A and B are shown apart, each in its own frame.
Chain A
């Protein structure tokens, strides 16, 4: 290729991109309220981000169809982070600055909300995360809320249940060394020490396949219970390897385990596992069943906890618009004032720190299915 044609292609490419940008700068549409969404739509955590977006879409479709907001139409603008928090900062800025969204539902991962929170605060755009559980996330930021229990809250309830209801007393903890796993480990360790005894704590790296070295050490400490602070992919393998090693103790976990894939991968090894969860799709109440049906109709699969919490987050925003008003500041006030909101993930209140108050569900794997025990 000659030099000249090369530079022509480069110039043309730059022009095309510039035109694409100009062509897409949004015009102010009357009667449209823009909801931004930030989450991982590609990369290793894409599953969470996609389900969150789908949950929001179900809530927005429902509100637009029912006309409950009068002349106001909701429109979703979604940006991908690839699971990288520095890209999440770009996504937040783009939504606020270019798309001029009125409210953001996101980020999905805790680090995304950590990076995006200050940007939303500077721009005074209310932001509600459906799934960022890291402790203290919403402190000192009046524009950042979340609709999921912090790790501390769900773990305290799990530890109390394990000691009081299941009669367990010698805890071993096996956790993923990432923000989610460490947060679970720290909270569980603190609460379990208060109530009973922690006999072993072992960590593993994200994506590990072999847990036998850690399980061997755990077995030597003779626990009666294994708490897994991690996601279902690792959780299922840990359960299988523990059974192979005759470590037949009660397995407990957090919401990261609550996925049908846990049972598909782990099969009988995960039977009897208890896990905390934000959502139980087999709940017979009409609100839950309506959501499950609408979600299946639109997306062709069962909703998970991320989708349900995102749906509730969107419902909280819609409720805030109804009770408080459609401007960003009014939405912020509306979200902050949320009290005993009947969501599909339980009655939800927002405290003065922007954190959620709700009862955590405890599910148990029985005959290859998640069953609600509390």
Chain B
């Protein structure tokens, strides 16, 4: 029998798997560098928590409501910004994330900077496992469908995809909407697990943590997002058990990330593409880095 602490860790791994795999759809499969995933998480968290607290929504309904509100914002923000590419898109999504955080910081209904307390605890291990399975199933179906092939075509070469008749903006907005939906779902589970939410936990660092999960696990791989979420969630917690060395746990954690990226730049599970012998991550980062400086597209 697992003790509550380990159950809590498994639940957090599950929530982060939902966050990472939905971000993976945007980054790893469609090749769009979004670093504002925490915004969708916070929208989902606040929307679902507020309807639970004020309108007594049943748990499933409030989760769905949170996810749908996040989708709405995903589509709203996606439509104008997805015309941007690479690091320009990254900055735009980062800006969106900050706007959302500051709005929640200043609204009265969200409790402002004091945070929202008194959310009933409804997230259990079972609901998280079911949510993870649904997320992975749906994302897997999307990736193996016509939409998924269009998304991968956009990642491989947007111009070529467009010349083959793929409406790239349309598919990119769809992908953003789906990513936001599951991001919002993760946020709803998060809020009903901790029973307290405060805007500061959904800032830039939270988005970067999600990005780390995707990159560390392996871009464009379903298992990669799961492994990345597990590693990033569990390592800092497991390092609490180092006894006298626990003082250095954040240093060790950072060192592990640096070493992993040095040894496995393609991520733990990431495969090298047979055609050009580079991984999806390396290819995308080369391209994103090249864009800002006017370098050649990889």
Chain A interface (Cβ < 8 Å from any Cβ of B): 1, 6, 10, 17, 20-21, 23-24, 41-42, 79-80, 82, 84-87, 89-91, 93-94, 96-98, 110-111, 114-115, 118, 123, 134-135, 140, 177-179, 181-183
Given A17-B238, A115-B194: A98 and B113 interface contact (C-beta under 8 Å): no
Residues of B within 8 A of A (CB): 3-6, 8-9, 12, 105-106, 112-115, 117-118, 121, 190, 194-196, 198, 200-201, 235-243, 246-247, 249-250, 263-264, 268
Does A177 lie within 8 Å of B9, measured CB to CB? Answer: no
Sample of 10 further A-B pairs with CB below 8 A, known A80-B249, A177-B113: A20-B238, A21-B238, A85-B115, A89-B8, A90-B12, A90-B237, A96-B5, A118-B196, A178-B200, A183-B114
Whether the pair B240, A82 counts as a contact (CB closer than 8 A) is: no
Q: Which residues of B contact A98 (CB under 8 A)?
A: 3, 5, 241
Cβ of A111: which chain B residues have Cβ within 8 Å of it? Answer: 115, 196, 198, 200
Q: List 18 A-B contacts (CB under 8 A).
A: A6-B264, A24-B241, A80-B240, A85-B115, A85-B196, A90-B237, A94-B237, A94-B240, A96-B5, A97-B6, A114-B198, A115-B195, A177-B106, A178-B113, A179-B113, A179-B114, A179-B198, A182-B113
Most A C-beta atoms less than 10 A away, residue of B3, B114, B190: B114
A82 touches B250 (CB 8 A): yes
B contacts with A: majority SS: helix
Complex: A115 Cα to B239 Cα, angstroms: 21
Q: A37 to B250, alpha carbons, bound, how many Å?
A: 18
Partner of A97, one of B4, B12, B115, B190: B4
Q: Is the CB of B263 within 8 A of A6?
A: yes
The answer to whether A84 and B201 touch (CB under 8 A), given A90-B8, A90-B9, A118-B121, is yes
**A348–B250 Cα gap in the complex (Å)?**
37
Task: Find chain B residues with CB under 8 A from A115 CB.
Answer: 194-196
How many pairs of A and B residues are in contact by the CB < 8 Å rule? 95
Question: Is B196's CB under 8 angstroms from A10's CB?
Answer: no
Q: Which residues from chain B contact A24 at a C-beta distance below 8 Å?
A: 241-243
* Alpha-carbon gap, A34 to B8, bound state (A): 22
Q: A115-B194, A115-B196 are in contact. Are A93 and B114 (CB under 8 A)?
A: no
Known contacts: A6-B264, A94-B5, A118-B196. The answer to whether A182 contacts B112 by CB under 8 A is yes
**In the complex, how many angstroms separate the beta carbon of B27 from the nearest chain A beta carbon?**
23
Highest count of chain B CB atoms <10 Å: which of A89, A111, A135, A177: A111
Query: What CA separation (Å) do A24 and B118 show in the bound complex?
Result: 35
For residue B285, give the distance in angstroms from its CB to the closest CB of chain A. 20
A42 to B248, CA, bound (A): 10
- Shortest CB-to-CB span from B237 to chain A, Å, is 6
CB-based contact A93/B8 at 8 Å: yes
- Return B82 CB to nearest CB of chain A, in Å: 29
B232 to chain A, nearest CB (A): 12
Tell me the complex Cα distance, A41–B250, Å. 10
> Given A98-B5, A111-B200, A179-B113: A118 and B238 within 8 A (CB)?
no
Residue in chain B with minimal CB distance to A183? B114
Instruction: Report chain A residues within 8 Å CB of B117.
Output: 114
Q: Using Cβ atoms and an 8 Å threshold, which residues of chain B touch A79?
A: 240
> What is the bound-complex CA distance between A97 and B240, given in angstroms?
13
